[in-house]
């Protein structure tokens, strides 16, 4: 009985590790895209073009870790005012 419990827990931990690994990659790409968009928005403001009002504080308001660990939430739900498709 105990070997089955240990095998089941090991399998569960392996699945969770893979899920978090995939989620970490998704969060990384999403945040890099947001950083590029904020940078472009700030550069547009410098040159007098209209901007979208994106700020660095918006990115800092949600931690990277919370985005990774809350893997059941879609990434767009962390920043509801900003769509990912730019």
Instruction: Give the predicted TM-score (pTM) of the model.
Output: 0.77
Per-residue pLDDT of the chain (86 residues; tens, 9 = 90+): 888 999 999 999 999 999 999 999 999 999 999 999 888 888 887 888 777 777 788 888 899 999 999 999 999 899 877 654 54
Distance between CA atoms of residues 30 and 71, nearest Å: 13
Q: Label residue 59 exposed, middle or buried (CB < 10 Å: 0-12, 13-18, 19+).
A: middle
């Amino acid at each position: 009985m105990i070997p089955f419990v240990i095998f089941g827990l090991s399998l569960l931990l392996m699945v969770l590790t893979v899920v978090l690994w995939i989620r970490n990659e998704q969060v990384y790409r999403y945040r890099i895209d947001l950083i590029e968009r904020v940078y472009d928005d700030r550069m547009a403001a410098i040159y007098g073009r209209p901007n979208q009002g994106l700020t660095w504080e918006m990115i800092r308001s949600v931690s990277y870790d919370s985005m990774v660990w809350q893997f059941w939430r879609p990434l767009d739900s962390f920043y509801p005012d900003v769509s990912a498709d730019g």
